Chain A
Amino acid sequence: MSTQAWHASPPLEYIIDHVNVGLFVVNRDFEVVLWNRFMALHSGKTAEEVVGHNLFDTFPELPQRWLQQKLRSVFLLKNAAFTAWEQRPYLFKFPHNRPITGGVDSMRQNCTFQPITDDSGEVAYVCVSIFDMTDASIYQERLQETKRQLEEISVRDGLTHLFNRRYLEACLYTEFDRVRRYGGRLSVIILDIDHFKYINDTYGHPTGDTVLIHLAEILRNNLRASDIAGRYGGEEFALILPNTDPAGAATLTERIRHAIAEHPARHGDTVVPFSISVGISGLTDAVPEPEALVKNADLALYRAKANGRDSVVRYDEIAADDLSDSQ
């Protein structure tokens, strides 16, 4: 048997060629002195073509300046160096092992650069190992994508895809703190679809849902970049408006009401006209905490409903004596 020639174990050259890791060695002049079979198979260049030649002459596509400095650090500091696919996807652009299932454009690689010292104790060579991280990178990307989706879901209302109440409240705290610290303006709008129960009872719940989605779309189309809109619950929506006073909030509200009047909701062939009632409050020194801003807007909304609906009330325009009556 031919294996008898190996005595106890196969020769090291055989192992180096059969280990499932890319291995190559360069000397101080960046000449390749070893090129294992993994490297040959993936690069398409045999050891005969590569060994004895300058690495950068054979592979001009390598990032020469950075790689030379990396190799220099190993020679000079006698210190291992590393690269990771997360930051640098690959050192050599090799085909990946997922030609069918896909997900990447080339093999993802982790690399280590190990110093090899000679008899005098100086680093004479650097041994570079290349590990195929393609599969791990794909799982990692999927995990990240799932995490992104979960984060998105956790802040959104499932029906309207506006932000949910929890996220709105977090934003309100952040914006409140920002104004208290740096100054500026902040308003809150709370709005409610009039006679929503009637819509649901008359046309059915699927139509009610269509109205909610339609209103959400109108809100999205009329917001400015820094405005934050969310579904506060049921048929109630809230808007947080940084850098906006109640007058500015009222202007935005008129735009929204105009859009609702122009574009009623439609469910199949049924046109469903609807209106909203709106309460607006602005941040003043008299507002002690974020919740009070919502409470004031809620009180204004209550007034708007009491006024016969389809109307807008600003908390700062409710007369003081009038206010004390209702509390």
Chain B
Amino acid sequence: MTVEPLTEDQSDALQELANIAMGRAGKSLSTLLDSFVILSVPRVTVVDVGDVADTVARMANAPEIGTAVRQAFFPTVRGEAITIFGPEGCREIADLMGHEGELGDSQEQELLLDTANILVGAVLNGLGEQMETEFKYTPPSILAVRTPLQQLLNAENLDWTCALLIEVNFSLDERGFTCHMLTLMPENSLDYIRRTLDEMLEDL
């Protein structure tokens, strides 16, 4: 039988924390990029390994073909954040990230890595603050270039059974730029989250 990684109360509490975290992340990203940044209401769900490819491919407004950057975080909660860009990458915001002139392949990749890094950091640091923990990050790396989203994660290569998924859309309307961030934490690394949420629920 499957054990639900989070109870309904825990899920609700986490959704609440994620909402607050996104609000803050949106503000600091807006300041950094000197533009109005919109972060969607985060979607907190549990996903089975067999469904993860479909879940990624069916995200709201997701491109069919995408370029993705991955980055791991640790230590209280271990997981990976995957940031998915459309086929155009993030050229639209190159100048806001301090890139000048023509973008070659390397510069374009660096821009993807830089952008993914600040989004992941803003969102997860916000969440970490809410849960009184500090995340550390590995350097980001390119996971896939112009690949059908369905093929981004292959269940056969994954050794977890279910994971907590927090999905956020990030957009910069004035630049016509949008991207998606998925934070996946395998079931066996959720102890800290469960404990923290329980303590919060008791304090209510």
A residues near B (Cβ < 8 Å) are: 65-70, 72-73, 76-84, 86-88, 110, 112
Contact = CB atoms under 8 A, between A and B. Distances in A.
A79 B122 contact: yes
Nearest to B136: A80
Interface in B102-129: 106-107, 109-110, 113-114, 117-118, 121-122, 125
Interface size grouping (class) on chain B? 20 to 34
B132 to A, nearest CB: 13
Contacts of A88: 106, 110
Contacts of A77: 28-29, 32, 118, 121-122, 125
Secondary structure of the A contact surface, majority rule: mixed
B97 A69 contact: yes
A70 B125 contact: no
Contact of A79 (B110, B117, B139): B117
A82 B117 contact: yes
Contacts of B121: 73, 77-81
A73 B110 contact: no
Contacts of A83: 110
Nearest to A66: B98
Contacts, number: 63
A140 B139 CA distance: 18
B137 interface: yes
Contacts of A110: 139
A144 to B, nearest CB: 14
A81 B97 CA distance: 13
A68 B98 contact: yes
A83 B113 CA distance: 9
B99 interface: yes
Given A70-B114, A72-B32, A82-B117, A112 B100 contact: no
B161 interface: no
Given A66-B100, A82-B113, A87-B109, 16 more contacts: A65-B98, A76-B31, A76-B32, A77-B32, A77-B121, A77-B122, A78-B121, A79-B118, A80-B136, A82-B117, A82-B139, A83-B110, A84-B113, A86-B109, A88-B110, A110-B139
A73 B122 CA distance: 10
Contacts of A66: 97-100
Contacts of A76: 28, 31-32
A65 B110 contact: no
A87 B140 CA distance: 12
Specify which of B99, B117, B137 lies most central, judged by the most chain A CB atoms within 10 Å of its CB.
B117
Interface string B150-190: 00000000000000000000000000000000000000000
Contacts of B118: 73, 77, 79, 81
Nearest to A117: B134
10 contacts: A66-B100, A73-B118, A76-B31, A79-B137, A80-B121, A81-B114, A81-B121, A82-B117, A82-B139, A84-B113
A66 B114 CA distance: 11
Contacts of B107: 87
A80 B136 CA distance: 8
A78 B117 CA distance: 12
Contact of B100 (A65, A72, A84): A65
B139 A73 contact: no
Given A69-B98, A80-B137, A87 B32 contact: no
Nearest to A87: B110
Contacts of A65: 98, 100
Contacts of B140: 82
Contact of A87 (B98, B113, B136): B113
B85 to A, nearest CB: 15
A144 B39 CA distance: 39
A67 B99 CA distance: 9
Contacts of A82: 113, 117, 139-140
A79 B116 CA distance: 12
A68 B99 CA distance: 11
